Amino acid sequence: MGRTKADTKGRIEHYHRLLDKTILTYQDPITGLLPGFIAKDGSVHGDAWVRDNVYGILAVWGMSLVYKKRSDNQDYKANAFELEQRVVKLMRGLLFAMMKQVNTLLGNYFKV
């Protein structure tokens, strides 16, 4: 038995809501990074490790690929674009954070 388009659309929307509730809500709007810790009251504390940011954003990128595959719908194209931009924002945030640390790291290894 195959799935109908309505079933598939419902599942995609379910996973998008789940992704939005667990990851996208907590993405920092300026840096794009994900928080290290979320308290029970919903407050966000610190930034997560690079590994945690990459693993978290992979789910977003995977969801954008789902929307791209089903790009016959205009809403799906818009969702794919939005999710891709969220991924780019996080990756740029990671790169910027690493670039800010390069002098500290090189200063420790190459004391001149």
Residues 90-101: pLDDT tens digits?
999 999 999 988
Tokens of 61: 């990128």
- pTM, two decimal places: 0.85
Torsion of CA 96, 99, 100, 106, to 10 degrees: 160
> Dihedral of CA 29/81/91/59: which sign?
positive
pLDDT over 70 (residue 85): yes
The 3-state DSSP class for residue 45 equals strand
Give the Cα separation of 64 and 88 in Å (integer): 12
pLDDT tens-digit profile of 14-71?
A: 999 999 999 999 999 999 999 988 888 878 887 788 999 999 999 999 999 999 998 8
Q: How confident is the model at residue 112 (pLDDT cuts 50, 70, 90)?
A: low
